[in-house]
Amino acid sequence: MGNACNSAPDDPIDGASFSAGKARGLSLANMAVGVNEATLKMQQRGKIMAEYVWLGGAVTTGGFDIRNKTKTLDFSPKSPEELPIWNYDGSSTGQAPGSNSEVLLRPIAIFSDPFRREPNIIVFCETILPKTHDPIATNTRGHAKAMFDQKPELVPWFGIEQEYTIMAADDATRPIAFDEDGGEPAPQGPYYCGAGYDSAICRPVADTHYKACLYAGITISGINAEVMAGQWEYQVGPCVGIESGDHLWISRYLMIRVCEMLGCNVTFDPKPAKGNWNGAGCHTNFSTKPMREDGGYKVIIEAVEKLGKKHMEHMKLYGEGNDRRMTGGHETSAMDKFSYGVANRGASIRIGTDTEAEQKGYFEDRRPASNMDPYLVTGKVFETTCL
Ligand code: ADP
Ligand code: MN
Ligand code: MN
Ligand code: MN
């Protein structure tokens, strides 16, 4: 098996020695800011590195298009409004013609930078037009926020289960647990929540990312190894409204950065291996204040019934290539059929046993693919069930 990233014994986020790079002959990685104690100790003379992060319009690493560039600040911002609006060349990210290429970056959330460490920050930005400051065509956040802003009193909570698959360093299309000559690892069975070199493949990636999210200030609620070899999951939530999408996007960015540092690739593709292998999803758990209060079960069932009436509308927004994953097998429901049930992992919507027993709680929309846009999904779930 080619799971060389298993050989990272230390946690680079904790500033310990970084041997994953060495194991893969990546000597430069040892020099990188964020993995080298000496570099981290260098004084910055009161200046702060602000990594502006935004969503481009192409498909790049991992199946998304997450871009970043850094600005030096001479103050430590307390809120995104204190930060300068910046700009970039939208013609290089598939978002603007070369003749009128400027797109603006408006800061919307600040996180601690787990690689450069405090006081350095990651600044998540939305993309807006230079003149009107309206969202550009690929900015889906604006619409989602408009949905949530209509009924803030419902206090919608989302918990998103992000599944992803570790891919080979030299071939981002090949799962790291699969051989170059097409040889497959042992069949599914030992990997889900597994322990051991042959089961918990690339645990250092999952663990380093977990720590990076906690350091950054992402609301991450846990991780687990998944059913396919080299596939993992982490959960972001519960987050209120628009914050769910913001935190999920930055968690994805951190995953891409961790894999860059540890010398492997990641894919968020919903079906990275053909054959008898599970795909990857983004189960979206949802509740509103009335659902969490006594008697909320009735509100939950009403919401689920509403989702049933708009099934295909939702499926269109739930991720590219979801048809390759939602076959009705491998713990999925069929793409074109809506269903729900208590504790049913083959249904579109699963209601937890606890929620039924307590007659209040939340439900799980199991349909979204691992590569879904959380602004589209959370906005649509709220629109269909609450507006
Ligand atoms: P599963 O049993 O499907 O694997 P997980 O434990 O992986 O579920 O993920 C459940 C997610 O739902 C977590 O992110 C958790 O924080 C979130 N969650 C818990 N309670 C609620 C709630 N009332 N509303 C919305 N999300 C919730
Ligand atoms: Mn889960
Ligand atoms: Mn899962
Ligand atoms: Mn789930």
Residue 7 lies in a domain: no
Task: Give the whole-angstrom CA distance, residue 156 versus residue 379.
Answer: 10
Query: 247 CB under 6 A from ligand 1?
Result: no
Residue 6 lies in a domain: no
Task: Give the whole-angstrom CA distance, residue 326 versus residue 335.
Answer: 5
Query: 237 CB under 6 A from ligand 1?
Result: yes
Residue 15 lies in a domain: no
CATH number at 128 reads 3.10.20.70
Asked if residue 165 and residue 129 are part of one domain, the reply reads no
Asked if residue 282 and residue 195 are part of one domain, the reply reads yes
Residue 370 lies in a domain: yes
Task: Give the whole-angstrom CA distance, residue 93 versus residue 76.
Answer: 29
Domain hosting 335: range is: 152-386
Asked if residue 116 and residue 68 are part of one domain, the reply reads yes
Of the three residues 79, 110, 138, the one that is the final residue of a domain is 138
Question: Residue 173: what pLDDT?
Answer: 93
Amino acid of residue 158: F
Residue 69 has pLDDT above 70, yes or no: yes
Write the residue with the smallest CA distance to atom 11 of ligand 1. 159
Classified as helix, coil or strand, 165 is strand
- 329 CA → ligand 3 middle, Å: 14
Q: Are 67 and 54 in contact (CB under 8 A)?
A: yes
Query: 235 CB under 6 A from ligand 1?
Result: yes
Asked if residue 253 and residue 172 are part of one domain, the reply reads yes
The residues facing 231 across adjacent strands are 165
Asked if residue 287 and residue 218 are part of one domain, the reply reads yes
Classified as helix, coil or strand, 157 is strand
* For the CA of 352, the nearest ligand: 1
Task: Give the whole-angstrom CA distance, residue 157 versus residue 289.
Answer: 8
Asked if residue 165 and residue 81 are part of one domain, the reply reads no
Asked if residue 184 and residue 217 are part of one domain, the reply reads yes
CATH number at 328 reads 3.30.590.10
Q: Lowest mean pLDDT of 98-107, 152-161, 190-199, name the range.
A: 98-107
Residue 38 has pLDDT above 90, yes or no: no
Q: Are 196 and 167 in contact (CB under 8 A)?
A: no
Asked if residue 124 and residue 252 are part of one domain, the reply reads no
Query: 159 CB under 6 A from ligand 1?
Result: yes
Asked if residue 106 and residue 190 are part of one domain, the reply reads no
pLDDT tens string 226-273: 999 999 999 999 999 999 999 999 999 999 999 998 889 999 999 999
Asked if residue 228 and residue 126 are part of one domain, the reply reads no
Residue 244 lies in a domain: yes
Phi-psi region of 240 (alpha: psi -120 to 50; beta: other; left: phi over 0): beta
Of the three residues 138, 171, 190, the one that is the final residue of a domain is 138
Q: What is the mean pLDDT of the chain?
A: 91
Output 9 or 188, whichever has higher pLDDT: 188
Q: Are 86 and 72 in contact (CB under 8 A)?
A: no
Mutate to test the pocket of ligand 1, among 192, 285, 294 (most ligand atoms within 8 A of CB): 285
What is the tally of structural domains in the chain? 2
Asked if residue 253 and residue 226 are part of one domain, the reply reads yes
Asked if residue 134 and residue 169 are part of one domain, the reply reads no
**Average pLDDT, integer, range 135-158:** 97
